[in-house]
Amino acid sequence: MTRHERPRASSNARASIASAAARLMVEDGITDYHHAKRKAARQLGFSDHAAYPDNAEIEAELRAYRELYQEEGHADLILALRRTALGLLELLADFSPYLAGSVLDGTAGEHSHIDILLFADSAKEVEIFLLNRGIVFDHVEARHERAEAVLVMETDTADANLVIFPPQMERVVLKHRDGRPRERVRAEALKALLSE
């Protein structure tokens, strides 16, 4: 084997895993990138030590998959999810809300959640706000170590994850597991996106 064959094989494995992981996320409703990568690698017969693609590679494959197989319906779904997200940003304006995640980046599917980041003095403050408006919610485990709580509420289009951080975290750039900055937008920017 020459020195040039190994990187090519590794690159091919990454591309294959990224493509299969994206398909699993769309068809099986898997939302956890790492779980999708591991399942895809197993299905393709790669070892646990295979070179996994990063999340950005899977996002690119998700976009490609949706453009190829779900072009028309997917655009309508993203529009509906973003409109719902805008309503949530406006409703939760007291808590410096931002839209983040797959609804913002356009990779969301029928199994996706709307990810709203909130910055409040306490999670109780948000809970009381929702209870006073008769909005039902559940608590789920926070995936980010600095999140105070995650509340899940139903909407007409998808469940929404309200991820609550302390106010000082608003100035901190949150990152994906692979180190990329996590994009987020306020209501004004989402309105601009919806008017494009």
Q: Using 50, 70 and 90 to split pLDDT, how confident is the model at 4?
A: very low
| Pair (27, 83) in one structural domain | no
Span of 10-24, 88-102, 120-134, 177-191 with lowest mean pLDDT? 10-24
Structural domain that includes position 50? 5-69
> Residues 187, 133: one domain?
yes
Tell me, yes or no, whether 123 and 187 share the same domain: yes
Contact 142, 149 (CB under 8 A): yes
Quote the mean pLDDT of the chain: 86
Of 50, 69, 88, the residue that ends a domain is 69
Q: Are residues 75 and 65 in the same domain?
A: no
Beta carbons of 25 and 36 less than 8 angstroms apart: yes
Domain boundary among 37, 69, 101: 69
102 and 182 assigned to the same domain: yes
CA-to-CA separations, 23 to 31, 74, 141, in angstroms, rounded: 11, 14, 26
At 1 the pLDDT is 41
Q: Residue 117's beta-bridge partner residues?
A: 98, 163
Quote the number of domains for the chain: 2
- Give tens-digit pLDDT for 5-56: 444 556 778 888 888 888 888 777 777 788 888 888 888 888 777 788 888 7
pLDDT at position 137 is: 96
The C-alpha atoms of residue 178 and residue 39 are separated, in whole angstroms, by 18
Residue appearing with tokens 């009381």:
128
* pLDDT tens digits, one per residue of 48-84: 777 888 887 888 888 787 777 666 677 888 899 999 9
**Is there a single domain that holds both residue 109 and residue 121?**
yes
> 125 and 34 in one domain?
no
Looking at the structure, do residues 52 and 110 belong to the same domain, yes or no? Answer: no
Given 48, 69, 90, the domain boundary residue is 69
